[in-house]
Amino acid sequence: MTDTFKLPPLEIVEYKLSNGLRVVFNPDNAIPVVSVAVYYNVGSRNERDGRTGFAHLFEHMMFQGSENVPKAGHFQYIMKAGGTMNGTTSSERTNYYETLPANQLPLALWLESDRMRSLAVTQENLDNQREAVKEEKRLRYDNQPYGQIFDLINEMIYKNFANSHSTIGSMDHLDDATVEDVQEFFRIYYAPNNAVLTLSGAFDQQIAKDLIETYFGDIPSQPLPPELDVSEPPEVAETYREWEDKLAPFPAFLIGWKIPPRRTPEFHALYLAGKTLYDGESSRLYQKLVKGKESVIQLFGFTDERRGPSSIFVGAIPKPEEDLSLIRETIMNEIQDLATHGPTAEEMEKLENQLLNDSIRHRQSSMSRAQQIAEYALYDGDPTIVNRELDELLSVTGEQIRMAAAQFLNTDNRALLDIVPPANG
């Protein structure tokens, strides 16, 4: 089927400003809408011990105003122009993006350039955003049932501090931070030569180039950030931990495996192995546990893509009174079956169709395209990978999936986190 079906390539144009800012265009006039994404090459992986949580703190600081944009003005400007926007932080990068009617491209570039050039890193902004992050941590992590389990399992999987610590970071570290520390972090990591600017959608390339030169061209570049070592030994840091979650209504568990970096053949094969196990109502584990045995309330799994060693997870919240070890046995039996026999022909067909379908759907919106392209530009130095990634995934064979499952999943080298509700009920 892949022979009869070729996805037309996205048009990609890339260049670099003299200050080192990498720019990628994906012109597509189908709808008069334009998306702008700015990806900074800084995530929690860049934080050293004693200074965790900075990358995420910055995501907050970036909405606190800059030389010509008042506090919280970013949102108001975008909204009044009929647009949408957001920003997020991961281990790998911090991103900011907006989608606007095509003729509002200058507004987006003005807003993004003003904060890249002149973010208001003041004591007042630092103080109140530090408090805001603490509130966010309490709400989203500490006070949510199961809210901390992914941070905990990363500590169990990774040995290298760059990989193992959480994105939200330590509140003590944030408290210790001075305005000078934060200004220094901004200078190093929010430099034009440490970022990628992506435009996708309806725009005239020459007009866009001129605007980008005007707004970004004279933002000074900075010495490159320090070299980073994210290497890991193959074994996980810790194979078992029991953890009492004061808010958990039911026991649950999470299993995590350490796997090769994103875009390696092994990672691709494991991504597909994961889909076969947990993705959708006809997946193996859904049929076995949610339908067949009706023993779990919720089943989930996903891969965490990183430039360095990555990970894959399977977790479940069983129904009360169910035996967790039996459920884990079912999961390990399915993994063993996949490692022995590989996916069935039907499963390969489903994977192929879902990959095609997902890949095409992700091309529909300019925002989704801008984000994919920015990632390849930032992580791989090559935005045109967006046009090859699907073929790479489709070329993975059942045998490769079997071998990857055998080597990386069907093993005792994994982290098991048992989550137990408070003892007194």
Partner 1 sequence: MKAELRKSPPEPLEAVRFDIPKPYVTVLENGLQVIIFEQERLPLVSFRLAFKSGDIHDPAGQTGLTSAMTSMLTEGTELYTSRQLAEMTERLGASLSANASDDFTIVSASSLTLYSSEVLGLMAEAVLRPTFPENELDLYRRNTLENLKFQRSQPGFLAGEQAARLVYGDHPYAIVSPKAADIEKLNRDDLVRFHASTFVPNNAILMIVGDVKRDEIVGRIQDLFGDWQAKDVSRTEFPAPPHRSSRSLTIVDRPGSAQSNIVITNLGVPREHPDYFPLIVMNQVLGAGASSRVFMNLREEKGYTYGAYTRIDFKALSGDLEATAEVRTAVTGDSLKEFFYELERIRNEDVGEDELADAKNFLTGVFPIRAETQEGLTNLIVNQNLYGLSDDYLQTYRDHVDAVTVDDVRRVANTHIRPDEVAIVIVGDAEEVLPQATQHASSVEIFDIDGNIQDVAKYAKTENAATADVAGKWSLNIDFQGQQLPVSLTLEQDGESVTGVLETMLGNGKITAGSVSGSKLSAVATAEMQGQPIDFSISGKVSGDSMSGTLTAPIVPEPLPFTGSRA
Residues 24-43 that bind partner 1 (CB under 8 A): 30-33
Question: Which is nearer to partner 1, 213 or 323 (by Cβ)?
Answer: 213
Residues 366-395 contacting partner 1, CB under 8 A: 366
- Binding to partner 1 (CB under 8 A): which residues in 391-420? none
For partner 1, the binding residues in 156-215 under the rule CB under 8 A are: 202, 207, 214-215
For 326, other C-beta atoms within 10 Å of its C-beta total 12
Cβ contact 45:162 at 8 Å: yes
The nearer residue to partner 1, 129 or 193, going by C-beta atoms, is 129
Rounded to 5°, angle at Cα 193 from 191 and 197: 90
Sheet of strand 195-201, all strands in order from the earlier edge strand to the far edge: 13-16, 22-27, 195-201, 33-40, 94-101, 84-89
Q: Applying CB under 8 A, what is the total number of residues that bind partner 1?
A: 74
Per CB under 8 A, does 356 bind partner 1? yes
Site for partner 1 in 95-114 (CB under 8 A): 99-107, 109-111, 113-114
Cβ-count burial 356-370 (b if 16+ within 10 Å, e if not): beebeeebebbbebb
Instruction: Quote the least distance from Cβ 164 to partner 1, whole Å.
Output: 26
**Which x/- pattern, by CB under 8 A, does the window 67-86 give for partner 1?**
xx--xx---xx-xxxxxx--
| Residues 412, 367: Cα–Cα separation, whole Å | 41
| Shortest separation between residue 279's beta carbon and partner 1, angstroms | 9
280 vs 302: CA distance, rounded Å: 12
The single residue among 164, 170, 354, 411 that binds partner 1, judged by CB under 8 A, is: 354
Compute the distance between CA of residue 47 and CA of residue 177 in angstroms, rounded to an integer. Answer: 13
Of 172, 176, 242, 358, the one binding partner 1 by CB under 8 A? 358
Q: Within 135-154, which residues bind partner 1 (CB under 8 A)?
A: 135-136, 138-139, 143
Using rule CB under 8 A, residue 422 touches partner 1: yes
CA 397 from chain centre, in angstroms, equals 26
Does residue 2 interact with partner 1 by CB under 8 A? no
Query: Would you say 165 or 363 has its CB closer to partner 1?
Result: 363
CA distance 346 to 284: 12
Residues 231-270 that bind partner 1 (CB under 8 A): 246-247
* Interface of this chain with partner 1, residues 292 to 321, rule: CB under 8 A: none
Q: Least Å distance between CB 355 and partner 1?
A: 8
**Residue 88 in contact with partner 1, rule: CB under 8 A:** no
Q: Which of 129, 154, 295, 311 binds partner 1 (CB under 8 A)?
A: 129
The structure tokens 């050039």 sit at: 117
CA–CA gap between residue 320 and residue 327 (Å, rounded): 13
Residue 25, SS3 per DSSP? strand
